[in-house]
A and B are shown apart, each in its own frame.
Chain A
Amino acid sequence: MSQGQEVHAGAAVVAAAESTTIQVSDAPQASWAKGRERLAWLMVLPSILIVAIVALYPLIQSIRLSFTNARLASNRAVENIGLNNYRYLWESDTFRIAFKNTLKFTVASVALELLLGMVVALIINSQFKARGLVRTAILIPWAIPTVVSSRLWAYMLNDNYGVINDVLVNKLPSAVSWIPIIGDNLAGIFPEQKIAFLARPNLMLPSAIAVDVWKTTPFMALLLLAGLQIIPGDVYEAAVVDGASKWKQFWQITLPLLRPAILVALIFRTLDAFRVFDVIYVMFGSSVSTLTLSIFTQNTLVDGDRLGRASAASVVIFLCIGVFVLIYTRLVKVEEA
């Protein structure tokens, strides 16, 4: 996950939390109105210009380049090659692997984050002594840069002296073996040998997912917590009077009322996870086992010097994400003035 995404994440959380409408307050007086309208445009213009230069124009340029054989370090004339870049991607096994990995990563990390985030949000939302401490603690993974998280977890997952292997192979088995009767059986479920999390191809993507889940669950939890806190307490009072169990309350009251927050969180995290770059690139570089669409694109551009082909891959990512963005902007309504 790139930090650029973090900001999007920040925006979306606030936006999602706002989940509202920007409404114009009525201008105090009519005499102001005209001057204010001109002023409004003058104030908005610089931002629009910057966004147009650094984002909208490059986007159009990306689409145009995707139909050419442009390179970065070449003075050769750029030729239009139609859909060749897209055809190449369609036929490329590497691109297909990247697509599959991206989907796996997205589905697994978003699902786990939703599940864990829900548990954490429910816990923080209940009344207990260490509540503030938990709320502060979950901000820590969120505050740690993705690059740092990746390196830190790579160190912890090391197959020789990594702490995770030590806990799995030595500490946990000896801890549970003290439990009477079932202790020895419990100890048996832990691995006897240290696991090469970062070298075994079938464990590489799951390791990256684990890091992403650690880093992003807090965010999910905060988003869901915001949703939980707007559920009015009297709904539960009524349920308690009716004698509904906590379990029943969760399924019949909390979950349905939380639906909008869950939906926003899911869409948001999905489009975030879909463009995953940092967490995987830092742990595994451009290894095929964990290649994602973003890494494929960056590689094609920087190492392969294929500007046209990389642009085509960019456009594919953009279109996939665009669908989610459209759904999202429908959810967060801008009220018609």
Chain B
Amino acid sequence: MATVPFDRSTLPTDQPGQRRKFDLGNAIVRVLFWLLVIFILIYTLFPFVWALLAAVKPNGDISSTPTRYLPSKLYWGNLNYVFHQRDFLYALRNSIIASVSTVVIALIFGSLAAYALGRIKFRGRNATLYVILAMTMFPAIAILGSLFQMMRRFELYNTIPGLVLTYMTFTLPFTVWVLANFFKAMPGELEEAALVDGSTPFQAFYKIMLPLAMPGLVTTGLLAFIAAWNEFLFSLTFTNTYAARTVQPAIASFRGNSQYEEPWGSIMAAAVVVTVPLVVLVLIFQRKILAGLTAGAIKG
């Protein structure tokens, strides 16, 4: 992130000139500011930390009153249990297959369409872009029933390919829209150079522009992966056994041996297993994600 040349904030900041004389009002504002920062950090981080702790607490700690904050000892039983749960392992496998396929398919078709929409002038282009933009906000619930009927008719109900097909409703328009903006922003000279070299328009796309668009593909692919990995409604509705059910509905319905007491230890262990890889990915790619979210705005 570029350094900001001038303090744009409306909140108190470190300005050396202001600190010479002790200013009570300023000091109070600064204390409040830092309290707010600490509060935000606790608010955003504590629940995740709490889940991590619960995943390694002995079951007695989890349901103890008064609440036990730190584990009395490290206990791997719940994580161990989760990794020996057949249905959960199947759900993990299904989620990985479904999410990866979704990303691959969305990127292949999405980058093709995005290149055309971002760089080629053709009739119907604006109309297509409007449809794509509107589709990025398409409410999945509006087609739940008819999709269900369609899945049944083509025997896609409770299959991973069926699930991947429905995931296209939200990943494909999104991929096309983001990548179209990405291609649009690339310099045109490169295509001209390709033309001079005698490439066909399609060669210019996949030999020159596509490799250069790799950062955009990675960011878009990551966002599509997160979306597919976290999807709940379609998986809940269109799958009913471990053959295709993904991790989100699996965690939503995770039950232990006792029907009276929620098995929070194993629920949290399962939750940590499906969340930690995601959090790590987001932290690794945070600059890309933030840049993707903010870069465009600076242009506008």
Query: Do A and B associate with each other?
Result: yes
A residues apposed to B, CB below 8 Å: 2-8, 10-20, 22-29, 32-33, 35-37, 39-41, 43-44, 46-48, 50-51, 53-55, 57-59, 61-62, 65, 70, 72, 119-120, 122-123, 125-128, 130, 133-156, 158, 160-163, 166, 170, 214, 218, 222-223, 225-231, 233-234, 236-237, 246-247, 249-250, 254, 261, 268, 271, 275, 277-278, 281-282, 293-294, 297-298, 301-302, 307, 310-311, 314-315, 317-318, 321, 324-325, 328-329, 332, 334, 336-337
- Rounded to whole angstroms, the CA-CA distance of A10 and B293 in the bound complex is 8
Of the candidates A214, A223, A247, A337, the one whose C-beta lies within 8 Å of that of B126 is A337
Of B6, B45, B232, B233, chain A has the most CB atoms within 10 Å of the CB of B232
- Bound Cα distance from A250 to B62, whole angstroms: 45
Residues from chain B with Cβ under 8 Å of A160 in the complex: 63, 65
Shortest Cβ gap from A28 to chain B (Å): 4
A190 to chain B, nearest CB (A): 15
The residue on B at minimum CB distance from A60 is B146
**Residues in chain A near residue B292, CB distance under 8 A:** 14, 17
Interface presence of B174 (CB below 8 A):
yes
Q: Is A18 touching B233 in the complex (CB atoms < 8 A)?
A: no
Provide the residues of chain A in CB contact with B297, threshold 8 Å: 16-19, 226-227, 229-230, 261
A145–B235 alpha-carbon span in the complex (Å): 14
**Contact call A246/B195, Cβ cutoff below 8 A:** no
**A39 touching B172, Cβ below 8 Å:** no
Interface string of B45-72 (1 = CB under 8 A from A): 1011011001000000011111101000
> Which has the most chain A C-beta neighbours within 10 Å: B135, B227, B229?
B227
Cβ of B208 under 8 Å from chain A? no
What are the residues of chain B within 8 A of A65 when measuring CB–CB?
145-146, 149
Q: How far is the CB of B38 from chain A (nearest CB, A)?
A: 9
Given contacts A277-B233, A314-B144, 10 further A-B contacts (CB under 8 A): A4-B234, A25-B188, A28-B188, A150-B252, A155-B262, A162-B67, A231-B8, A254-B10, A261-B297, A325-B134
Cβ of B24 within 8 Å of any chain A Cβ, yes or no, is no
CB-CB under 8 A from B126, the residues of chain A are 334, 336-337
| Residues of chain B within 8 A of A2, CB atoms compared | 140, 231-233
Ranked 3 nearest A-B pairs via Cβ: A126-B9, A3-B230, A7-B227
Binary flags per residue of B7-48, CB closer than 8 Å to A gives 1, else 0:
111111110000000000000000001001100110111011
Whole-angstrom distance between the Cβ of A123 and the nearest chain B Cβ: 6
- The residues of A that contact B214 with a CB separation of less than 8 Å are none
Q: Does B212 contact A (CB under 8 A)?
A: no
